[in-house]
Amino acid sequence: MVFGSSAMVCIKYGPIQKLPNPNANGNKDVVMKLNNFCLAAVVTPHKYLPILSAIGTGMLLMTLQTTSAQAAGQYYNCANATGCEKIDSKYFTSSHTDTKYPVVMAHGLGGWNQLFGAIDYFYGIPDTLMRGGSEVYATKTSSVNNSEVRGEQLLQQVKTIAAISGSPKVNLFGHSQGGLDIRYVAAVAPKYVASVTAVSSPGQGSKMADWVIDQVVEGSAKSGYPEGEFNASSKAVIGFFDFVGGFMDVGSGIPFSKVQEQDGWKSVKGLSTDYSAQFNAKFPAAMPTSYCGQSADTEVNGIKYYSFSGVGQTTNILDPIDAVLSLTALPFKNDLNDGLVSACSSRLGYVIRDNYKMNHLDSVNQLLGQIAWGQPNPKTVYRDQVNRLKNAGM
């Protein structure tokens, strides 16, 4: 392209062609031809400078877009049997959740990472975090077992994630029983952990778990069975738990031959108040010393501890799970709860809030995003927490 000369210039997505100027009138004409179409314009020097500026700005924006495309947020699914597989990535739309360390998410009782390649346990949350720059890993432990078994499985995945990402530490998020699992990892291998965020997690046990245990034990005793043995109906319930655990493993992409250990009885006992007292004695970091108290320490061994949870059971009339949670809330009586975990039991470290209008599944944006109307969106709550971690240098 030639400016300021009496010549016609054509451009055809290829070499520039210089053509005779049909208007040799002394004006500084520029004629551009694109795909066999010539556009002529009389351009004086002071008029074509804005054009050059616009071209330069466009090239700069293209460069910035290319740079952001190279720094996309990543989403991986992990399991000990299959390793970690990248399943999605998103270009940054902001750097709001671009943390120093990866975000690792641990599911609760009966949970999964991504079910049949379609439904995230933390529904829509990895996508939200990716768009802000996060590297997200959803883990898969035994769906049905206690937190020492599951915690050890999770630790192996954290080590794998550290190797894949090249990051020495991770930010752990655990929902429900997953909150106990991440506390286990932080206690036994603190060098891998930058932060712990427990979401609606029964740190001091669940009264619903206590009720189930009472029904099983008392029912079996009435049927004449000695302690530690169960009647037919109790065995059926425990067997169903085991089946659900295996199903969630397979649904998460784990081969039949590598399905993880499932134990329905251990899982229920592991959520009881008695077991939780023993667990907390072993792993006391950032736990309150009384049932409805607050933690004196929010940072232990260089690890920052956080928690958030909700109260209420019926939060959306379109969500069929709400009716179930209204029934499971009955053992709590007047103790504020989300249907499975009380607000007091959920407290760990720095309590962001324990009274969101969220039931137990709302706190992971389930069922399929059916949450309370006019209340904080769970995806926003996670996004804000990850931003909090970013601002704390994690």
The CATH number linked to 117 is: 3.40.50.1820
- Give average pLDDT by consecutive 10-residue segment, the chain, 394 residues: 43 44 44 42 50 56 45 91 94 93 98 97 97 97 98 98 97 98 98 98 98 94 91 94 96 95 96 98 97 96 98 95 97 98 98 98 96 96 98 98
Whether the CB-CB separation of 161 and 171 falls below 8 Å is answered with no
Residue 258 lies in a domain: no
Residue that terminates a domain, selected from 16, 47, 69: 69
Confidence at residue 53, expressed as pLDDT on a 0 to 100 scale: 60
- Quick check: is 175 catalytic? no
Are residues 160 and 275 located together in one domain of the fold?
A: yes
Residue 110 lies in a domain: yes
Residue 170 lies in a domain: yes
The active-site residue, picked from 338, 342, 345, 354, is 338
Confidence at residue 48, expressed as pLDDT on a 0 to 100 scale: 54
CB neighbour list of residue 366: distance below 8 Å, 6 or more residues apart: 121, 123, 321
- The candidate with the shortest Cα–Cα distance to 171, out of 124, 216, 134, is 134
Confidence at residue 333, expressed as pLDDT on a 0 to 100 scale: 96
Q: What angle, rounded to 10 degrees, do the helices at 232-251 and 207-222 form?
A: 140
The active-site residue, picked from 307, 319, 360, 362, is 360
Confidence at residue 349, expressed as pLDDT on a 0 to 100 scale: 98
- How far apart, in Å, are the Cα atoms of 288 and each of 81, 275, 308, 365? 36, 16, 14, 27
Residue that terminates a domain, selected from 69, 94, 116: 69
Residue 55 lies in a domain: yes
The active-site residue, picked from 142, 143, 176, 272, is 176
Mean pLDDT of the chain: 87
Are residues 178 and 297 located together in one domain of the fold?
A: yes
- How far apart, in Å, are the Cα atoms of 33 and each of 38, 47, 79, 170, 337? 4, 20, 58, 56, 71
Are residues 56 and 203 located together in one domain of the fold?
A: no
Are residues 303 and 379 located together in one domain of the fold?
A: yes
Instruction: Look at the chain and report how many structural domains it folds into.
Output: 2
What is the C-alpha to C-alpha distance for residues 346 and 287, in angstroms, rounded to an integer?
A: 10
- The candidate with the shortest Cα–Cα distance to 42, out of 98, 83, 4, is 4
Are residues 292 and 353 located together in one domain of the fold?
A: yes
The owner of tokens 């949970």 is 111
Confidence at residue 54, expressed as pLDDT on a 0 to 100 scale: 58
- Quick check: is 338 catalytic? yes
pLDDT tens figures, 353-368: 999 999 999 999 999 9
Confidence at residue 354, expressed as pLDDT on a 0 to 100 scale: 98
Confidence at residue 228, expressed as pLDDT on a 0 to 100 scale: 86
Say how many Å lie between the first and final Cα of the chain, rounded. 51
Residue 188 lies in a domain: yes
Residue 19 lies in a domain: yes
Are residues 15 and 145 located together in one domain of the fold?
A: no
Domain span holding position 49:
8-69
- Quick check: is 88 catalytic? no
Confidence at residue 51, expressed as pLDDT on a 0 to 100 scale: 59
Residue 255 lies in a domain: no
